[in-house]
Amino acid sequence: MANASFNNPKRLLRVPSPVAHAAFQKALVISALLLVIVVLAIMLSLAIHSFPSLKAFGFTFFFSKTWDPVSGRFGALVFLIGTLLTSFLALLICLPFSLAIGIFIGEYHREGIVSSFLKQVTELLAGIPSVIYGFWGLFVFVPVVRNLEMKLGVLPYGVGIFAASVILSVMVVPYAASIGREVISMVPSDIKEAGYALGATRQEVVTKIILPYARSGILAGILLALGRALGETMAVTMVIGNANIIPRSIFSPGNTMASVIANEFTEATGELYLSSLIQVGLLLFLVAVGINILGRYIIKKVSIEA
Amino acid sequence: MRKLVLISFVLALLVLPAPPGAGGMELLGAGATFPYPLYSKMFYSYWKETGTKVNYQPIGSGGGIRQLINRTVDFGGSDAFMSDEALSKSPATILHIPICIGAVVLTYNLPGKPGLRFTPNLVADIFLGKIKRWNDQSIEEINPGIRLPEIDIMVIRRSDGSGTTFVFTDYLTRVSKEWDTKVGRGKAVNWPIGLGAKGNPGVTGLIRHLPGTVGYTELGYALLNGLPVARLLNKYGEFIKPSTASTSKAAAIPLPMDTRVSLTNSDTPEGYPISSFTWILVYREQAYGKRPLQKAVELAKLLWWMTHEAQRYTEPLHYGTLPQEASERAEKIITSITYDGERVFQ
């Protein structure tokens, strides 16, 4: 019964009617547009709801480091700095590791047990819920950082920018690595062979041919990882220390935009307080969009026309 | 054909409402997380005894009040009473019914777990960042015979907005002028120093793992985690150990008719000074929306049970029991609930 259409050549060869064709096309357009509309609607509603705070503080909201719910004075500078600092630091830490994984699986060991095992494990990292990273960070990693801080002679909080960045870097490795691996494995073999023919060693082929060829794809992976790091909430809030101060060193506690929203939204009373939190959300949204646009521009600049 | 059956089955599952509960009525509540362990125990027992199901969502006091104002729940739960201004803005008269008393305790991580004593000024100075080391003279003076280590004090406080923070900062605002002008009271405040941790579990977790820390948490969480709790000097010059008994005694003061009163630094010789009621909030007039009379009756019955028989669940879960006067006030408030102007409960 299920195979009826295959037994009936007439049905198989039937040309779709113009009506069905048009309906199909319409459905495609509608679903594509719907997504765009949702994104715009999110931005619009964030903007509308942050209007009271925008009216009260104007642009000082972005430069003020005071966040005082009691007296109703709000500024987002501390959170902006915290978010950017942890995200870029995480990216810096994850870069060598994700690149190494990408080259290892994409070039050196394309097949076999080792590579498929490594691939599975990196992908598993992406599937672990962030609260688990947070718990692991708080109970296992933070004491390690504390020992390190005691040896360095800084105030041994354990939690702080450094702990948050390291946890974040582990979380974003799979994003950067999987795209890196994909583009590295797609580097055409004729140009690699050309390299070998000229007497290049394998290492030279990797650094002088494969990496330059794949750099736009590698950058795209990094951009994806950065987007993930910017918005990460749960794991960061558990290990960053949630102190509303501008961090003086990487071992200092801090706070991020996503984590202040998650922490204070449920109990935020009063229009201005709620609206300021929403404006922090709007800022986070704009930062993510801005970095994305900048990233695409850079990718375009460095990409090699194939 | 088989596919069609499957699809219609899935659709039916999606569209058809869940089968109604076996007989009993269902009441819906939302609000404070602080009394949630007690409430879930109470509501479970109530369901076993009467067949009335109570569904309570611990979404925070602010959320509970918002949902009550929007009339999406039968009752709200809150650790902080509603201000006169908030009450005047609400669509109808809202009643506060005290259910139990909670204590916020000071807990710390020091080698040897010494039993410390604190004065109100000391607590304020530590949380203002003015006392920086554990072996500070002002701490040693009131803790004679205890050798305090020469390490930095690390303050741990809540990062999320919470009723616990409100009660604690309300206390500090009452006992310290400097705290009042610099920080003030609120569910979230602009802390001068310290690390923020999410929820009571977050605070106790950090304190357990970091030597030299001090923080505030609910009594139950500190005891559950085996953390030491500090004795606190009260108005009468007594160092009071936080316990369910001393918490309960903090409420043994003349109460206003609507029970909307802060118990911090209250005027009792044996009461623990950082205590607070937690309330359930309902509308006085229950005939709104399309609510049947039966719902109003069940709600009043539940509230009566919670402030009477169910008080036996408070102590084992580390909450203070309502003292005589508070439970009499609660009775008066519950009997004032009406449906279409008629009292629902005699």
Contact B189 A146 (CB under 8 A): no
Distance from CA of B139 to the nearest CA of A (A): 21
pLDDT category at B58 given cuts 50, 70, 90 is: confident
Residue A303 at interface with chain B, using a CB cutoff of 8 Å: no
Contact B198 A255 (CB under 8 A): no
pLDDT tens digit sequence for A277-291: 999 999 999 999 999
Distance from CA of B243 to the nearest CA of A (A): 27
User: How far is the C-alpha of B207 from the C-alpha of B213, rounded, in Å?
Assistant: 6
Contact B195 A146 (CB under 8 A): no
Indicate the residue type of A43. M
User: What pLDDT was estimated at residue B17?
Assistant: 45
Indicate the residue type of B235. K
- A vs B: CB pairs below 8 A: 94
Q: What is the arithmetic mean of pLDDT over B222-244? A: 93
Query: From residue B262, how far is each of A239, B250, B253 by CA, in Å?
Result: 34, 10, 11
Sort out which chain A residues have CB atoms less than 8 A from B183's CB and list them: 70
Residue with tokens 């580390």: B318
Contact A241 B191 (CB under 8 A): no
Sort out which chain A residues have CB atoms less than 8 A from B161's CB and list them: 69, 263-264, 266-268
> Which structure tokens are listed for B71?
């009339």
Sort out which chain A residues have CB atoms less than 8 A from B163's CB and list them: 267
Question: Is the confidence at residue B217, as pLDDT, over 90?
Answer: yes
Question: Is the confidence at residue B9, as pLDDT, over 60?
Answer: no
pLDDT tens digit sequence for B277-310: 999 999 999 988 888 999 999 999 999 999 999 9
- What burial letters (b/e) apply to B34-70, b meaning 16+ CB within 10 Å? bbebbbeebbeebbeeeebbbebbbbbbbbbbbbbbe
pLDDT tens digit sequence for A140-158: 999 999 999 989 988 888 8
Is B27 within 8 Å of B54 (Cβ atoms)? yes
Question: Is the confidence at residue A1, as pLDDT, over 50?
Answer: no
pLDDT tens digit sequence for A81-92: 999 999 999 999
Sort out which chain B residues have CB atoms less than 8 A from A238's CB and list them: 197-198, 202
Within 8 A by CB and 6+ apart from A50, the residues are: A275, A276, A278, A279, A281, A282
User: What pLDDT was estimated at residue A129?
Assistant: 92
Contact A70 B197 (CB under 8 A): no
Alpha helices per DSSP H over B176-318? 177-182, 199-209, 219-224, 244-249, 293-307
Is A265 within 8 Å of A278 (Cβ atoms)? no
Residue A123 at interface with chain B, using a CB cutoff of 8 Å: no
> Which structure tokens are listed for A151?
């040896």
Sort out which chain A residues have CB atoms less than 8 A from B65's CB and list them: 269
pLDDT tens digit sequence for A158-207: 899 999 999 999 999 999 998 899 899 999 999 999 999 999 999 999 99
User: What pLDDT was estimated at residue B230?
Assistant: 96
Indicate the residue type of A116. S
User: What pLDDT was estimated at residue B19?
Assistant: 43
**Nearest CB to A70; choose among B163, B185, B202:** B185
Is B228 within 8 Å of B115 (Cβ atoms)? yes
Mutate to test the interface with A, among B109, B156, B198 (most CBs of A within 10 A): B198
Residue A159 at interface with chain B, using a CB cutoff of 8 Å: yes
Question: Is the confidence at residue B22, as pLDDT, over 80?
Answer: no
Contact B190 A263 (CB under 8 A): no
pLDDT tens digit sequence for A210-234: 999 999 889 989 998 999 999 999 9
* Check: complex ipTM more than 0.85: no
Within 8 A by CB and 6+ apart from B155, the residues are: B126, B127, B129, B191, B193, B194, B195, B213, B214, B215
Sort out which chain B residues have CB atoms less than 8 A from A264's CB and list them: 160-161, 188
Distance from CA of A141 to the nearest CA of B (A): 12
User: What pLDDT was estimated at residue B224?
Assistant: 86
DSSP string, B60-109: -HHHHHHHHHTT-SSEEEESSPPPHHHHHHSSS-EEEEEEEEEEEEEEE-
Report the residue of chain A nearest B208, measured CA to CA: A139
Q: Which residues pair with B283 in a beta bridge?
A: B94
**Nearest CB to A67; choose among B160, B187, B190:** B190
User: How far is the C-alpha of B69 from the C-alpha of A291, rounded, in Å?
Assistant: 41
pLDDT category at A306 given cuts 50, 70, 90 is: very low
Q: What is the arithmetic mean of pLDDT over B26-38? A: 90
Q: Which residues pair with B155 in a beta bridge?
A: B214
User: What pLDDT was estimated at residue A304?
Assistant: 64
A108 — alpha (psi -120 to 50), left (phi > 0) or beta?
Answer: alpha
Question: Is the confidence at residue A5, as pLDDT, over 60?
Answer: no
Report the residue of chain B nearest A139, measured CA to CA: B209
Question: Is the confidence at residue B225, as pLDDT, over 50?
Answer: yes
**Nearest CB to A66; choose among B59, B190, B206:** B190
Sort out which chain A residues have CB atoms less than 8 A from B215's CB and list them: none
Mutate to test the interface with A, among B152, B195, B204 (most CBs of A within 10 A): B195
Q: How many helices (H) and strands (E) does chain B have?
A: 13, 13
Question: Is the confidence at residue B337, as pLDDT, over 50?
Answer: yes
User: How far is the C-alpha of A186 from the C-alpha of A214, rounded, in Å?
Assistant: 8
Report the residue of chain A nearest B82, measured CA to CA: A269
pLDDT tens digit sequence for A24-75: 999 999 999 999 999 999 999 999 999 999 999 988 999 999 999 988 899 9
> Which structure tokens are listed for B54?
């109570």
> Which structure tokens are listed for A26?
């319409």
Residue with tokens 């922090």: A280
Element (H, E) at B239: strand B239-240
